[in-house]
Each structure stands twice: as structure tokens, then as C-alpha cells.
Structure 1
């Protein structure tokens, strides 16, 4: 057999073996790796290269080595799932770097991190003062997670005692100029609705690169031609304006009538509608 054919066959075998081993080991092999997983990935990749090119060696021995490495890695992962002690020994524990705005110098030295590196990681999380941090922890993966002190955290609806309705995931209903019927059905919509929305915006289906529908039923489109500007959907703004007009009309009715009971009824309805507008305004202006 010519050498180039043998190399091609060995490479195909190595690719298939590498794919199967990676599939068995799971998604952790392509996410944040532990030290052992990092070594395993490098070694298995090196073995695959040897199987492909070292035609003087027996290719099946390389496969045996890859299977052994993969089995050991899988065994360690299963052990980590069952044993907290094993997880701590193999991956190590998370380490506190900042506590109550104070940098833990001993822990910083233990993790071999310089002050510059710590400040760089804080800046990546939009934190520019260590004193603003309640906790900063370096995980076993090497990531640094930061919790700001309460006074420096962004205000959320929970801080204001507001209940927020669950947000649905936006659905891509148009891709590469083609209508996606399944996401439309998930949103409770149909092709007729989509065609009407495109007509409102003066856009043809085939000119749309990506179209998404948010949880409020508004369609946002990105066209192939970036020079063409598409109007932003105004459904929420129109609804808010309609509510304000209704409130103004009811208040006018209250002022224009002389009947005491009718005046009280209109005034009550107006107050109730003002409260409704106040409640939904943050959602309709987002």
C-alpha cells in the first residue's frame, strides 16, 4: 500500500476514534477544563497525530493508548460526581480573593496571582475599585467571580418590590430569507401574521437575513443590505399612548358631566387606569 494512502487511512481512523472518545467524555472537554482534563486533551491529541503519521509504528497500539487515556479520564469524572473529597483533591477548592472589600493577600499568593492580574480580572467585570467588592472568588476552573456590595449593585425590579412577568426567549422566525414555521408556532403565530408584519415595515421576506420575535410579539429584522434602515416596532409605544388617551378621555368625561354618580364613577375609573399605566409603563418603555 502506498504511504500516502496508509497515512490517509490512519488519519481517518484517528479522527473517528478522537470523535468517539470526546463524545464519551462529554461537553466538559470543550468547556472550562481541570488540570487533568487539560493534560488528557493534549495527550489524546498527540496520540492521534502519532497514529496518523508514524507509519513505522503499529497503529492499533496508539488506539489502545487513546482508549486507556479516555477511560481513565471518564473514570475520574465519575469519581468526581460521587465524591466531594475527590473533587476537592483533583480540581481543588474555590479560593476567596477579596472579602468585604479587603484583598486576601495570602490567598492571592497561594493562587500565584499578582495584584495587576486581579485588578485586570475585576476590570473585565466592570469593577474598578476593590473596595466595592463584597466577595471575589477564583473557581477551580480559573474563572474569577465577583459579587459587589449591595450599595454598588444595579437596581433591579426585586429591589423596588416589583413583580416581573417571566420573559420568553426570542424566537428566530426568519433565517437566510426563509420563514421558520416551528418557532412561529411556538410563539402562537402563523405565516399570515409574519407576512403582515413584514408588509408594515416595507420589507420582503427574501431580503431578511434574520428575523426575531420577542416576548411582546414584536418583530425585529436584520436585512442583507445594511444600508437600508428598518423602522423600530412601535406596538408597545402605541399601546402606552392609547392607554394615556383613554385615561385623558375618562377624566374629561368626569369634568364635563354634572351627574354626581357619573362623576364619581369616571373619577374612580381614571384613578384605576392611572395605576395600570404606572404598573405597565416600565415594560412598555423597555
Structure 2
């Protein structure tokens, strides 16, 4: 058997093995990536590449190493869910770097974040004046959380005692010119109803529609393919 064919076969095996192990590990690797998760992910990916191209390495033993790292990561994730001490050890804790509007330089030094980076992170969150901030903390994954001072927070309808309507998730009815029959049935609507709504803007063929989306207030957003116009059609009127 040629080396090329061996590499192809091993690559297929490592590809699907990596897919399986990543699925077993769940979404935590992407959704809440910590530095430790990053290192584990890089190591597992390196092992998978070893399986693929290092034809002199034993396939079974390398697969065993890959499986071991994956199982350990899963076990540690499960233990972290049920044990606060393990979770703190693995993921770390959020660190407050601004409290009551005061920058805590000692905490910045502990997590090795320079002042310039703190100010840069604040700017990316739309805060250009440090006096607008009440609390700032760096989360275990490196993200920044900000609580602005009460005087700088936006006014909400609740603050003004204004009653608002429920605003749920919109439903896609047409995607790339394809009518989604299941979506229509879930809303107890018919194709004829949708065609009637489209005809209000002289749209005769659903294949001309890039996206049609109905929100919970009864407004139908329609975006036509190409550089054509988009419309918002009230369906309750």
C-alpha cells in the first residue's frame, strides 16, 4: 500500500474520530473557552494530525491517547459542574478590576492586564470615559463585563412605566426562494395567505424572495433577491 493511500485512510479515521470526540465534549469548548480549554483543544487537534500524517506512529496507540485526553476533559467538565473548588481551579474566577468607579491596580497586576488593555476593552464596549463605569470585571474566559453607573444607563420602558408587548422570536417562512411549509403549518397559516401578503407588494413568485420572516407582532419582513428592495408588510391590517 502506498504512503499516499495510507495517509488518506488515516486522515479519514482521524477526521471522524476528532468529530466524534468533539461532539462528546459538547459545546463548552466554543461557548465558554478558557485558557485550559484552549490548551486541551490544541493538544487533541495535534494528536489528530499525528494520526493523519505520521505514518510511522502506531495508529491504535495514538487513538488511545486521543481518547484518553477527551475522556479526561469530559470527566473534568462533569466534576466542575458539581464541585465549586474544581471549577475554580480549572476555569478560574472573575476578577473585579473597577469597583465603585475606582480602578483596582492590584487586581490588574494579578491577572497581568495592563491599564492600556483595560481602557481598550472598555472602548470596544462603547465606554470611552472611565467615570461612566461603576464595576468592571474580567471573566474566566477573558471577556469583560461592565456595569455602568445608574446615571449613565439607558432608560427602559419599565423605568417610564410603559407597558410593552411580547416580542418573541421571528419565524422564517421563505429562505433563498424556498417556501418553508413546516414553518407555515406551525403558525397555522397557508401558502395562499402568504401569497396574498406578498401580492401587497406585487411579489408573485416566492422564488424571487431571499428571506421572508414573520415576527410575533404580525409584521412580515421580505427581502428580495439581488439588489431589489426589501419590505415590511403589516399582516394584521
Shorter-chain TM-score bucket reads over 0.9
> Does the 8 A contact of 1:96 with 1:135 survive in 2?
yes
> Helix, strand or coil: the match of 1:166?
coil
> Does the 8 A contact of 1:173 with 1:212 survive in 2?
yes
**Which whole-Å deviations, capped at 9, do the CAs of 1:113-161 have from their partners, x for residues lacking one?**
1122111111111111111111111110100011111111111111112
Distance 1:2 1:220, change over 3 A: same
**Match of 2:226?**
225
> Does the 8 A contact of 1:171 with 1:214 survive in 2?
yes
**Match of 1:208?**
209
Aligned-residue offset at 1:230: 4.0
**Match of 1:51?**
51
The alignment's C-alpha RMSD in Å is 1.6
Once residues 147 and 106 of structure 2 are traced to their aligned partners in structure 1, the CA distance between those partners, rounded to angstroms, is 20
> Helix, strand or coil: the match of 1:47?
helix
Distance 1:234 1:167, change over 3 A: closer
Aligned-residue offset at 1:25: 0.6
Once residues 77 and 142 of structure 2 are traced to their aligned partners in structure 1, the CA distance between those partners, rounded to angstroms, is 18
Q: How does 1:63-78 map to 2 (within 5 A)?
A: 63-78=63-78
Q: How does 1:32-43 map to 2 (within 5 A)?
A: 32-43=32-43
**Match of 2:103?**
103
List runs of 5+ in structure 2 lacking aligned partners: none
Runs (4 or more) in structure 1 with deviation over 4 Å come to none
**Which whole-Å deviations, capped at 9, do the CAs of 1:28-82 have from their partners, x for residues lacking one?**
1222322221111111111111111111121111101001111111111011011
Q: How does 1:57-206 map to 2 (within 5 A)?
A: 57-203=57-203, 204-206=205-207
> Does the 8 A contact of 2:94 with 2:137 survive in 1?
yes
Aligned-residue offset at 1:234: 5.4
> Does the 8 A contact of 1:201 with 1:230 survive in 2?
no
Once residues 48 and 20 of structure 2 are traced to their aligned partners in structure 1, the CA distance between those partners, rounded to angstroms, is 12
> Helix, strand or coil: the match of 1:60?
helix
Once residues 128 and 19 of structure 1 are traced to their aligned partners in structure 2, the CA distance between those partners, rounded to angstroms, is 43
More divergent stretch after superposition (144-153 vs 175-184): 175-184
Distance 1:172 1:234, change over 3 A: closer
Once residues 54 and 2 of structure 1 are traced to their aligned partners in structure 2, the CA distance between those partners, rounded to angstroms, is 14
Greater share of residues in helix: 1
Quick one: higher RCO (CA 8 Å, sep 6+), 1 or 2? Answer: 2
Greater share of residues in strand: 2
**Match of 1:265?**
none
Once residues 39 and 172 of structure 1 are traced to their aligned partners in structure 2, the CA distance between those partners, rounded to angstroms, is 39
Aligned-residue offset at 1:187: 3.2
Distance 1:234 1:20, change over 3 A: closer
Once residues 167 and 232 of structure 1 are traced to their aligned partners in structure 2, the CA distance between those partners, rounded to angstroms, is 16
> Helix, strand or coil: the match of 1:233?
strand
Aligned-residue offset at 1:235: 6.3
Once residues 235 and 190 of structure 1 are traced to their aligned partners in structure 2, the CA distance between those partners, rounded to angstroms, is 13
> Does the 8 A contact of 2:220 with 2:235 survive in 1?
no
Once residues 231 and 14 of structure 1 are traced to their aligned partners in structure 2, the CA distance between those partners, rounded to angstroms, is 48
Once residues 223 and 234 of structure 2 are traced to their aligned partners in structure 1, the CA distance between those partners, rounded to angstroms, is 17
